[in-house]
Amino acid sequence: MERFHLVCRACRKSRKFQLALERCSCGGSFVVEYDLEQVQNTLSKESLLERPSTMWRYWELLPVRDSSNIVSLGEGWTPLVRLHRAEKALSVAKLWVKREEQNPTGSFKSRGFSAAVSIAKEYGVSKVAVNSNGNAASALAAYAAYAGMEAYVFVPQDCPGLIVEECVGYGAHTVLVYGLIHDAGKIIQDGKAEQGWHHVGTLKEPGRAEGKKTMGLELAEQLAWKLPDVIVYPTGGGSGVIGMWNAFRQLKELGMAHGDLPRFVSVQEAGCQPLVDAVQAGRFAEQNSDVTSAPTGMRVPNPPDGDWLLSILRETNGTAVAVSGEEIRNASIHLGKLGISSSPEGAATWAGFCRLREQGWIRPHDEVVLFNTSHAMKYMHWPVKNVPIVKNYADWVTHPRRM
Ligand SMILES: *Cc1c(COP(=O)(O)O)cnc(C)c1O
Ligand SMILES: [Zn+2]
């Protein structure tokens, strides 16, 4: 039996692992499951002590068959920094920030793309494309360049300028798109057959959620295998929530982690808050209008697996919180004074944490982890020059400067 395969969440039908992640015939989404007996032959708390400080220390739980296909720039094993002063000030048992901005491309998207590009390499892919709010685009650009693949990245026209330059710097075909992340996704959908693109958008393929799973594996290991009570995570497409939930589930099945699953808190910026609305309404719906929040990784009005995200928030007794742009700016100043520079998404987790602590939802005995998912510097103001801007696929195909 292969070490990993796909299983439908809804009907439990399993199928062979594959490059693209289509839905099951029943409409359910597939999850990568592992033959845990095989995994246990080599993975243990002790064997981990000898391994490199990258996310590939957990290779048994990542869907790459041949280690020579691993495309790694040194991602993962990021610091987990305890905020002692804030614990006292806000009376909470333990508070950490996971410093994901220290990944090779300045955000945790490095993890997902290290996995996704490795899988793509295993399947002989040469052209990869992604729609993104920025960090996924620059991560794909970097990993594709390292692997010798051609990258095509499509980002909304208000994407932070430095992130656009980062993509250009890695040699990716970089294009701005009028509209939001899903408008950018439509270009790939419309062009992928003709262009031969492998679509690495959120939950279009198995690698990104599996790569992000390593945040959960790593967190457990860094906390000596005792899971925290609460995880506060800035949520957009949601592959991080899905990935970490899988991580904890798999670690518990392996008998490596103990304690209840952490309560997942999804933080979103007011103005694009489909998960917050879903928690309130008790059911998920795409947010199809009035997207007014800033261009950050949280701005995803229609995450592809919203129902699944809602069910994870429920199952773990978690919740979702919307914070305003002003709360995010203040939170960033506050974290700065604690010695932590944060991206808007990371700052949003601080704002969400403070709100839930005030309301008593986070209790004095809780142990809480915040995720600073990206580097503050990537969001500094920077005007983009010489990058084409398009409306749709037809526009892109005929654009004189698209190369
Ligand atoms: C992509 C992104 C997010 C959202 O992550 P998901 O796992 O897709 O929900 C949050 N913060 C930053 C900085 C991002 O780039
Ligand atoms: Zn099914």
Question: Residue 403: is its pLDDT beyond 70?
Answer: no
* Domain closes at, from 46, 69, 92: 69
Here the tokens at position 293 are 């929040």
Ligand closest in space to the Cα of 140? 1
How does pLDDT run across 17-64, given as a tens digit for each residue? 999 988 999 999 999 999 999 999 999 999 999 999 999 999 999 999
Neighbours of 284 (CB within 10 A): 19
- The reply to whether 118 and 56 lie within a common domain is no
Kindly state whether residue 41 falls inside one of the protein's structural domains.
yes
Question: Residue 259: is its pLDDT beyond 90?
Answer: no
**Once rounded to an integer, what is the mean pLDDT over residues 116-137?**
98
- The reply to whether 299 and 390 lie within a common domain is no
Task: Determine the distance separating the centroid of ligand 1 and the alpha carbon of 119, expressed in angstroms.
Answer: 21
Total of domains in the chain:
3
How does pLDDT run across 302-341, given as a tens digit for each residue? 999 999 999 999 999 999 999 999 999 999 999 999 999 9
120 near 19, Cβ under 8 Å?
Answer: yes
332 near 347, Cβ under 8 Å?
Answer: yes
Task: Determine the distance separating the centroid of ligand 2 and the alpha carbon of 25, expressed in angstroms.
Answer: 6
Helix (H, G, I), strand (E, B) or coil at 327: helix
Average pLDDT across the chain, whole number: 96
Q: Structural domain of residue 87, as residue ranges?
A: 80-106+211-379
**Once rounded to an integer, what is the mean pLDDT over residues 161-167?**
97
How does pLDDT run across 278-304, given as a tens digit for each residue? 999 999 999 988 999 999 999 999 999
Q: Whose CA is nearest to atom 7 of ligand 1?
A: 240
**CA nearest to 156, candidates 140, 128, 172, 135:** 135
Amino acid at site 236: G
Q: What are the C-alpha distances in Å from 2 to residues 34, 36, 63, 300? A: 8, 11, 10, 35
Task: Tell me how far apart the alpha carbons of residues 165 and 234 are, in angstroms, rounded to a whole number.
Answer: 24
Percentage, residues of the chain above pLDDT 90: 95
Task: Determine the distance separating the centroid of ligand 2 and the alpha carbon of 2, expressed in angstroms.
Answer: 20
- The reply to whether 113 and 199 lie within a common domain is yes
- The reply to whether 46 and 93 lie within a common domain is no
Task: Tell me how far apart the alpha carbons of residues 178 and 156 are, in angstroms, rounded to a whole number.
Answer: 6
* Domain closes at, from 14, 48, 69: 69
Task: Tell me how far apart the alpha carbons of residues 325 and 348 are, in angstroms, rounded to a whole number.
Answer: 9
Task: Tell me how far apart the alpha carbons of residues 114 and 121 are, in angstroms, rounded to a whole number.
Answer: 11
Going by their DSSP bridges, the two strands 230-234 and 198-199 should be labelled as: unpaired
For ligand 1, what atom is nearest to the CA of residue 238? 9
Strands annotated E in 10-149 = 14-15, 30-34, 80-82, 94-99, 127-131
